[in-house]
Amino acid sequence: MNHTIRRLNFSVGLNLIITSAEFIGGVLSGSLSLVADALHNLSDSVSILLSLIAYKVSLRPPDAAYTYGYRRAGILASILNLSLLFGVSLFLFKEGLERLLRPHIVKIDLMLIVAVIGLLANILTGILLFKDAQKSINIKSAFFHIMADALSSLGVILAGVLIHFTHLYAIDTIFSFLIAGYLLYASIGLSKEIWPILMQRAPYGYNLEKIARTLAQVDGVENIHHLHLWALDEHQRCLECHVKIREEDLPRLEEIKRILKELLATQFGIHHSTLEFETALCSDRGVVGSHQETNKHYH
């Protein structure tokens, strides 16, 4: 079992324990913000579990049915995690509105003890997942759940302190609204990273015209067209294009292809490319033309 799987397993177990403690503590103390934190922590546990399953699936090699492999399993898990965040935030808004209509007295001591334990557990889980979150958007979504819950635990503690000195129990409900609002904002923000991959958008920071122009500068290349660039996942970029060469350069085709692939890998970080060579422009007139300026068009 590799280190990533071991850390994910430990994180799931720890969060389930803390979720149970916070939920029981929230019910006994009458704190909606603590129950909100428990529900968020439960979503963390589910999130990490989804990330764990997706990570294991993504390690499977390509086969005849899934020729690119199972890399996008992590993207699917991220979508489920975002949906979970969104659902929890709406539920907390609903509960908060009902609590405003029917105020509850909160047992501050129990609320604070459980919230502090939850905060420490979330910090520990965050430390465990931090390194892997830098490499995978799947684990990053789980890590984001954990950090958001650490902030909400901190908010519960702050709410408890304020209630202790002011005796305004509505503060507990207000902080539950803040937690819900933050979860909603976070889910929208993270979706902006996933949506371009699902829609096969050209990755941010890549200029198709520059790529075409660079490739066309190779000796023997007359035109680059039918250029497509997309991300298979958050790491692997894929490119395909048509390459027009002169008939007299056909004997050099393999040499030209090698040079083009090296340029794509070294200058643009594109290691998976499919190049179709031709000696006359294909019938598709949508041309990314680096030498024929009047025919520039991306599709």
Tens digit of each residue's pLDDT (9 = 90 or more) over 57-86 = 877 888 888 887 887 787 787 788 778 778
Report the distance separating Cα 103 and Cα 107, nearest Å.
Answer: 13
**Which one is predicted more confidently, 229 or 187?**
229
186-209: average pLDDT: 82
Highest mean pLDDT of the ranges 108-122, 240-254, 280-294:
240-254
Quick one: 3-198 is in which CATH superfamily?
Cation efflux protein transmembrane domain (1.20.1510.10)
Domain range 208-295, its CATH number among 3.30.70.1350, 3.20.20.370, 3.40.718.10, 3.30.390.50: 3.30.70.1350
Q: Where are the domains of the chain?
A: 3-198, 208-295
Residues 151-177 have pLDDT tens digits of 777 777 887 788 778 877 777 777 778
pLDDT surpassing 60 at residue 48 = yes
194-219: average pLDDT: 87
Same CATH fold assignment for domains 3-198 and 208-295: no
**How much is the pTM?**
0.61
Residues 176-185 have pLDDT tens digits of 788 778 777 8
pLDDT surpassing 60 at residue 45 = yes
Among candidates 19, 31, 17, which has minimal Cα distance to 112?
A: 31
pLDDT surpassing 50 at residue 299 = no
Q: What is the pLDDT of residue 215?
A: 93
